[in-house]
Amino acid sequence: MSLSTPPGDASSTPKKLEGHYYVDDGELILKRDNQQFVVSADPAYKDQVTAWLARMAEGNADLSDLDPDLARQLSVVFEEHGFLADASDCQGLSGRDALLDLEDYTNELLYRTLYRNVFWKKIQSAPAEHISNNVIYGFVIENYHFLYRESWFDSPALCYAPSKQVQLLMNEFYGEEYGHDELLLKSLNSIGISRAEIQDTIPLRETLALCNSLAYWASYDPLFFFTTLGVLEGKDVSEDSFLAACDRLGLPASFVQPLRTHSDINLKGGHGCLSREIFKHVPFISSGDLQRMKCQTALFVQLYDAFYAAVWNHYSSVRSLLRRVSEV
């Protein structure tokens, strides 16, 4: 790293050095993660450069006794190379602790919305005669559309650059999830819906909204996307209440068994714990990032709640299960 960039305006936001520095054989060495960089500077300014590094390492914004042009130049160069962060961003939690905090907030939202959702209230407690078979079939149809599009949001997160361990976890999960839409298609086949017919249908807009949002987060904010996996895969689920409803309705084994196979893969494979396994390998979440993820969690829960409500509201009131594109 060479300090040859012309002086410029330094940000007024207090900054803190990412990594640490030391002197080795008369050279200033900056170390971050497993990388080392030599800080080249005019010998006449070496003491001031060392002083600047010490202040930045402490998050100390008082640079009044340093040459102002040199301080600006150092700030510009180090920020351009990603070695400075806002001082406030240096406050935070480990990935595990941040996720636990986020899970508490997520559960609070879920208990206020999703768990009071008309779909789940009916599925969990309503007598069989109060649940239309169309709602059950419609739920499988929308889940088929969701799983058919799972590559939209799983694929972008497979190459999460900061952690090899996270990459391995996501690739293992992706391999286990691949083809689950075919299991649901078997259930639909048993009630007379063919592959050609389901491919001629369009999902509810709430289903597409959830798919599109997850695809966006997986591409542009994979860390937040990882927090949604525990909810989507049922981290707190010990038994499948949807399958229990299918049993209460006396639906045939040809319809229920593929759904049970899908559920068992998720439950026995521990997919609900995936978020926690991933965040064991995330060393640090800044306070700013945690607050941002909480804001996005509120939107995610709203989308998830809307998905289930839409399934009940639409399929409990229609005669035709399939929303055919060819008939539009």
Both tokens of residue 192? 């007379």
Least confident of 1-15, 24-38, 303-317: 1-15
On whether the CB atoms of residues 31 and 38 are closer than 8 A, the answer is: no
CA dist 17 to 21, 32, 286, Å? 9, 10, 14
Long-range pairs, 295-299, Cβ under 8 A, ≥24: 296/217, 296/221, 296/224, 297/102, 297/105, 297/106, 297/109, 297/224, 297/227, 298/109, 299/213
Closest CA to 136 of 279, 220, 242, 63: 242
Cα angle value 315/320/321 (rounded, 5°): 55
Query: Tell me: the pLDDT tens digits for 180-220?
Result: 899 999 999 999 999 999 999 999 999 999 999 999 999 99
Is the pLDDT at 242 greater than 80? The verdict is yes
Structure-model confidence comparison of residues 279 and 10, the more confident one: 279
The string of pLDDT tens digits covering residues 133-144 is: 999 999 999 999
Q: Which residue has the tokens 């090899």?
A: 164
Calculate mean pLDDT across residues 279-289: 86
Going by pLDDT thresholds of 50, 70 and 90, the confidence category of residue 33 is low
pLDDT at 254: 95
Mean pLDDT of the chain: 83
pLDDT at residue 175 in the model: 86
Q: Which of 85, 22, 77, 16 is nearest to 30 (CA)?
A: 22
Q: Is the pTM of this model over 0.85?
A: no
Residue owning tokens 């509810």 = 204
Write down how long the chain is: 328
Least confident of 52-61, 167-176, 272-281: 52-61
113 band by pLDDT with thresholds 50, 70 and 90? very high
